[in-house]
Chains A and B, each alone.
Chain A
Amino acid sequence: MTRGNTDQTPGARAENRPTVHLAPPPSPSNPPAGAVRPDTAAVFDLDGLEVYYGAFRAVRGVTMQIFSNQITAFIGPSGCGKTTVLRCFNRMHDVTPGARVAGRLRYRTADLYAPNVSATEVRRRIGMVFQKPNPFPKSVYDNVAFGPRANGVRVKAELDARVEKSLRSAALWDEVKDRLPASALSLSGGQQQRLCIARTIAVDPEVVLMDEPCSALDPVATARIEELMRELKSRFTIVIVTHNMQQAGRVSDRTAFFTTDIDPTFALRTGTLVEYDATNKIFSNPHDERTERYITGRFG
């Protein structure tokens, strides 16, 4: 199989991010920040990542780096492990019974699956937007304020400011500013998804993971979300799983193509990473024949 082509280092901006402390004291295995080497410009560094559900190895052989302030798209057929890999990034597998992650997954300088890493701390920095808009059955305001409150913001004025800023960033403020106390479930599907984005960015994460965020939306709402993603790129690193290749082509800087093939160890059809490169390279001149077949619609 072809490993991800990760030798191209993109313009790594935003390296003046605050120090990352996922675990209490820095230890030798967990070097203190400031020790960030220039070649660790990657936000995520995966090496031989595997995910098991019980004894079933669902994804294997994922080696790639995800870079700061870029949009990275994961594409591939159903069952190829895109979402499974995405959910590793903020330890969402912790809440799935039987799920287990093997191999290395580093977030900047920290090993995300080290025993002393708190999943809660990880998720404060790495937010997630889900496939189906899932606002809480609370008011619009309380939905956005939920994250800041969970992270200890109590002052009303600061909460107000955060809610407004997040809703503006999510291009939703003008539509909901007069109905902040209304139930979030009274919004349309596209508005609900932008509300979920506002809720995610209200805690000021570094990374926003998006799991097919537009698959439940119509083309107009999809276009708005894509526009939003391009705007948010300057502040956040975005990883998006999508079934829509046009979408990956439109919004992403880099694209990873996953597919299913026969796992040599277990003789089962499971997911793996085929190719990872700049998006225009993947869509114009892919390295791997399987990628070419998929993007030209001759998959199978």
Chain B
Amino acid sequence: MSAGALPSGIAPPLDLSTKRSARSVKSASMTGLMIASVVVIALPLVAVVAAVFARGLRVALADFPAFFVKEVPIVARRPGPGMGPAILGTFLATGAATAIAVPLGLLGAVYLHEYGGMKRFARVVRFMANVMTGVPSVVMGLFVYLSWTLSFGYSAFGAGLALACLMLPVVLGATEQMLRLVPDHLREASYAVGASKSRTILTVVLPAALPGIVSGSLLAIARAAGETAPLLFAIGAATAYNPNLFSQANTALSIQIFANATSSFVAAQDRAWGAALTLVLLTFVITLTARIVTARFALRR
């Protein structure tokens, strides 16, 4: 009976309430500061999107769906649609850039992480890729202008080359990062049943890293789709549809935004808003796809 006997007195009430102290003041002020920062960051973003949607939707819906289909008026002051050739041109240039930069970036990253490691050559390439990420896009445009456009003339492909120069280091870096995240024990498990290195990379490492590689590439594509500076040199200024990837001047949404927004005619400025809306929607769709791909694959694991 004595073992479980409690002391007879009543224990003093336990006080767990929050105390006003220097620490709680500090906590509250820091929280306030962080919320304020988020608002400051979000404000311009929301303002940009709101302005683009408000003014762009009015233009696009006034001539729907003609705005997305019809050719750009040759006479800038004439009101009316459209942006069809620019949408096609953006797809052509970005598509060409993707076809060049994604395979090269992927293979390069596989070399860097799986074969190069810490070898001198791999370190030099990695360093150069990092430097390339920081090169202003206008310099890429200038480079392509001198090395391609002057010899072969304006084309969507030239623009694609310039965009590929921009995308390549991004795809390379993102892919190598994803390969680094594939745990070594998966590689060892593959080696342990007698799989060769190439087979291990193809059937274990790349599938495991694929969602990250896909979303990294899509983000690079979305960024490239909106680039203006490198296109100024390489794509020319067409107003009509040009489905030929390799010859003649073409156009792109970003170029049309630049050209129309700097015009003094209201009709042209309206078309710039419409083109801006189209471009925002396009990048939004690509980014959303990237998110969905990542989430879908992540669930399946």
Within the complex, what minimum Cβ distance (angstroms) separates A27 from chain B?
Answer: 23
Task: State the interface size on chain B (CB cutoff 8 A).
Answer: 23
Give the interface of B toward A (CB within 8 A). 117-118, 183-196, 199, 203-204, 207-208, 300-301
Q: A41-49, A90-98, A106-114: which lies at the B interface?
A: A90-98
Q: Per a CB cutoff under 8 Å, which of B117, B185, B188, B195 touches A120?
A: B195
Residue of A nearest to B117 (CB): A97
Specify which chain A residues have a CB less than 8 angstroms from the CB of B193 in the assembled complex.
123-124, 127, 146-147, 150-151, 199-200, 202-203
Within the complex, what minimum Cβ distance (angstroms) separates B186 from chain A?
Answer: 6
**Interface bits A199-233 vs B (CB < 8 Å: 1, else 0):** 11011000000000000000000000000000000
Specify which chain B residues have a CB less than 8 angstroms from the CB of A150 in the assembled complex.
190, 193-196, 199, 203
Query: Which 3 pairs of residues, A with B, have the shortest CB-CB distance?
Result: A124-B194, A147-B193, A150-B195
Within the complex, what minimum Cβ distance (angstroms) separates B300 from chain A?
Answer: 7
Does A256 lie at the interface of the complex (its beta carbon under 8 Å from any beta carbon of B)?
Answer: no
19 A-B pairs with CB atoms under 8 Å apart are A92-B191, A92-B192, A95-B184, A97-B117, A123-B191, A124-B193, A127-B192, A128-B192, A129-B192, A134-B186, A135-B189, A137-B186, A146-B195, A150-B203, A151-B193, A185-B301, A199-B193, A200-B192, A203-B194
Specify which chain B residues have a CB less than 8 angstroms from the CB of A261 in the assembled complex.
none
Bound-state Cα–Cα, A146 to B199, Å: 10
Task: Say whether A121 contacts B117, CB under 8 Å.
Answer: no
Specify which chain A residues have a CB less than 8 angstroms from the CB of B203 in the assembled complex.
146, 149-150
Q: Per a CB cutoff under 8 Å, which of B188, B194, B199 touches A134?
A: B188
Task: Say whether B185 contacts A132, CB under 8 Å.
Answer: yes
Specify which chain A residues have a CB less than 8 angstroms from the CB of B189 in the assembled complex.
130, 134-136, 196, 199
Bound-state Cα–Cα, A146 to B193, Å: 8
- Do A123 and B208 contact each other (CB < 8 Å), given the known contacts A132-B185, A134-B188, A136-B189? no
Task: Say whether A147 contacts B194, CB under 8 Å.
Answer: yes
* Interface size classification for chain A: 20 to 34
Bound-state Cα–Cα, A132 to B189, Å: 11
Residue of A nearest to B194 (CB): A124
Q: Per a CB cutoff under 8 Å, which of A95, A97, A128, A147 touches B195?
A: A147
Task: Say whether A120 contacts B194, CB under 8 Å.
Answer: yes
Specify which chain B residues have a CB less than 8 angstroms from the CB of A135 in the assembled complex.
189
Task: Say whether A137 contacts B188, CB under 8 Å.
Answer: no
Residue of A nearest to B204 (CB): A136
Residue of B nearest to A118 (CB): B196
Within the complex, what minimum Cβ distance (angstroms) separates A189 from chain B?
Answer: 14
Specify which chain A residues have a CB less than 8 angstroms from the CB of B190 in the assembled complex.
136, 146, 150
Q: Which of A35-61 contact B (CB under 8 A)?
A: none
Specify which chain B residues have a CB less than 8 angstroms from the CB of A125 in the assembled complex.
194
Within the complex, what minimum Cβ distance (angstroms) separates A20 from chain B?
Answer: 14
Bound-state Cα–Cα, A225 to B33, Å: 56
Task: Say whether A95 contacts B188, CB under 8 Å.
Answer: yes
Specify which chain A residues have a CB less than 8 angstroms from the CB of B191 in the assembled complex.
92, 95, 119-120, 123
Does A169 lie at the interface of the complex (its beta carbon under 8 Å from any beta carbon of B)?
Answer: no
Does A183 lie at the interface of the complex (its beta carbon under 8 Å from any beta carbon of B)?
Answer: yes
Specify which chain B residues have a CB less than 8 angstroms from the CB of A137 in the assembled complex.
186, 207-208, 301
Bound-state Cα–Cα, A181 to B131, Å: 45
Q: Which of A137-170 contact B (CB under 8 A)?
A: 137-138, 146-147, 149-151
Specify which chain B residues have a CB less than 8 angstroms from the CB of A123 in the assembled complex.
191-194
Bound-state Cα–Cα, A119 to B196, Å: 9
- Do A151 and B185 contact each other (CB < 8 Å), given the known contacts A97-B117, A136-B204, A183-B301? no
Bound-state Cα–Cα, A151 to B118, Å: 30
Inter-chain pairs besides A92-B192, A123-B192, A199-B193, 8 sampled, C-beta below 8 Å: A95-B187, A127-B193, A136-B204, A137-B186, A147-B193, A150-B194, A150-B199, A151-B194
Bound-state Cα–Cα, A185 to B117, Å: 29
Residue of B nearest to A128 (CB): B192
Task: Say whether A121 contacts B194, CB under 8 Å.
Answer: yes
Bound-state Cα–Cα, A199 to B204, Å: 14
Within the complex, what minimum Cβ distance (angstroms) separates A238 from chain B?
Answer: 14
Task: Say whether B185 contacts A134, CB under 8 Å.
Answer: yes
Task: Say whether A136 contacts B188, CB under 8 Å.
Answer: no
Central interface residue in A97, A119, A146, A202, by most chain B CB within 10 Å = A146
Specify which chain A residues have a CB less than 8 angstroms from the CB of B185 in the assembled complex.
130, 132, 134
Specify which chain A residues have a CB less than 8 angstroms from the CB of B192 in the assembled complex.
90, 92, 123, 127-130, 200
